[in-house]
């Protein structure tokens, strides 16, 4: 189960970074006649470098979220049910 969840998060992060790249790429294609080609090529180069950083940031966030959920589950499991007091 844990492997499937990890793979789901991996695919989700990759889809988010690819969609971000698609938006920037389409913006570069749309602006190719209006802007300097050197600026657009630099933007494409930097977006490829930023993709790794964004993916790393999202992996850290997902890992932190998973550890917080595990901590909440362990707190729930450590609660001791009190016995009823006899009157």
Q: pLDDT digits over 54-68, tens only?
A: 778 877 877 777 777
Residue 63: which domain range? 35-68
The answer to whether the beta carbons of residues 53 and 11 sit under 8 Å apart is no
Give the mean pLDDT of the chain. 78
Helix (H), strand (E) at residue 54: helix 37-77
The tokens describing 66, both together, are 């998973």
In a domain, 16, yes or no: no
Please tell me the distance from the alpha carbon of residue 14 to that of residue 52, in angstroms, as a whole number.
10
Cα(66)–Cα(84) distance, integer angstroms: 35
Q: What is the pLDDT of residues 30-48, one digit of tens each?
A: 888 888 888 888 888 888 8
Which range is least confidently modeled, 40-44, 47-51, 78-82? 78-82
- Count of domains forming the chain: 1
CB-based contact 62:9 (threshold 8 Å): yes
Q: Is residue 61 part of a domain?
A: yes
């Amino acid at each position: 189960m844990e492997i499937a969840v990890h793979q789901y998060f991996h695919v989700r992060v990759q889809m988010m970074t690819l969609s971000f790249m698609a938006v920037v790429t389409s913006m570069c294609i749309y602006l190719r006649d209006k802007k300097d080609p050197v600026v657009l090529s630099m933007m494409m180069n930097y977006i490829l470098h930023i993709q790794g950083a964004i993916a790393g940031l999202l992996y850290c966030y997902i890992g932190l979220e998973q550890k917080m959920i595990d901590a909440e589950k362990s707190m729930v499991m450590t609660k001791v049910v009190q016995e009823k007091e006899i009157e």
